[in-house]
Structure 1
Amino acid sequence: MIDKHLHLDEQLCFAVYSTAHAFNRLYKPRLDALGITYPQYLVMMVLWQDEPQTVGSLGERLLLDSSTLTPLLKRLEASGFVTRTRSTRDERVVDIALTDQGRALATAARSVPAEIREATGKTDDELELLRRSILRVRDALQASNIA
């Protein structure tokens, strides 16, 4: 008999993975209606909170590298939601700012978090405790020296 710790249903990583897929299924039709993908939604949330941002600061905030962000930002620019401009302070830096259309998207997206929260069937307090616990696990994994 295989050790129960090797059972799929006992794995925290599978619980997180399958839950992420469930979230993606919920977000997809809502974000499709807005004309953005989930990764683009994450970028837009950062910009709605604080703009302009540099590609580097977005990458730090979203835990993504510039090679992942650049094509995503190009698509957001092509859709008219953001502008990308070289910094006048340092031409190696690219500044990302919202357009009027990108700012207006925040209003259209306003209902999405509440709809997702409601779908969980959990209270705001329960979800906040869960979010904090997941972040502590993430931070511990990132700090781990096990490779």
Structure 2
Amino acid sequence: MKTRDIISLISRIRQKVNAFIISELSQGGMEGIVVSHGDILYALFQKERMTMAEIASKIGKDKSTVTALVNKLVNYGYVSKERDTRDSRVTYVVLTPTGKELKPLFEEISQKVLEVFYTNVTEEEKEELLRILCKIDCNL
């Protein structure tokens, strides 16, 4: 298989996973939410109060992109922004009670994605895939 074929395959898989996630979010009543919003919410499920810079680092997006995504989540009522009391340049993003209620839905969607993703894949194949992906990640 040629390198461009592998890249094309990875791109198609990513598009399909994203479409699956968006469909599941929509069925869960979360219209207008995109995968990048989900990345932010998922990060906040792990640590409920994060700076914009921490979120940007965690999800691999630049700070200006994160700011735009967070502003939309604020409008939906899933997160709020708080200024640091010691340094007004620092803004924290915090899950609202409504945002916290989304955690079970996200866990359910994650489980469904994994079930579909690994259908007909053996444990040995999963381990080999993970090993190769880690190797590629280290190379980059």
Q: Please give the TM-score of this superposition, normalised by the length of structure 2.
A: 0.84
Matches of residues 23-62 of structure 1 in structure 2 within 5 Å?
Answer: 23-34=17-28, 35=30, 36-62=33-59
Give CA deviations for 1:28-64 in whole Å, capped at 9, x if unaligned: 1112234121111111111001120000000111111
Q: Which amino acid in structure 2 is aligned with residue 21 of structure 1?
A: Q
* CA deviation map 1:93-146 (0-9, x unaligned): 1100000000001122221111111112135664465345324313312xxxxx
CA distance in 2 between partners of 1:23 and 1:125 (Å): 22
Q: Percent same amino acid at aligned positions?
A: 24
Q: Distance in 2 between matches of 1:21 and 1:14?
A: 10
**CA separation of 1:54 and 1:125: change in aligned 2, threshold 3 A:** farther
1:145 counterpart residue number: none
- One-letter amino acid matched to 1:133: I
Stretches of structure 2 lacking an aligned partner (at least 5 in a row): none
Moved over 6 A (4+): none
Partner of 2:16: 22
Structure number, greater radius of gyration: 1
Q: State the distance in 2 between where 1:89 and 1:128 align.
A: 46
Runs of 5+ consecutive residues of structure 1 not aligned to the other structure: 142-147
Once superposed, what is the RMSD of the aligned Cα atoms?
Answer: 2.1
Return the letter of the residue paired with 2:106: A
CA distance in 2, matches of 1:96, 1:14: 35
SS in 2 for 1:111: helix
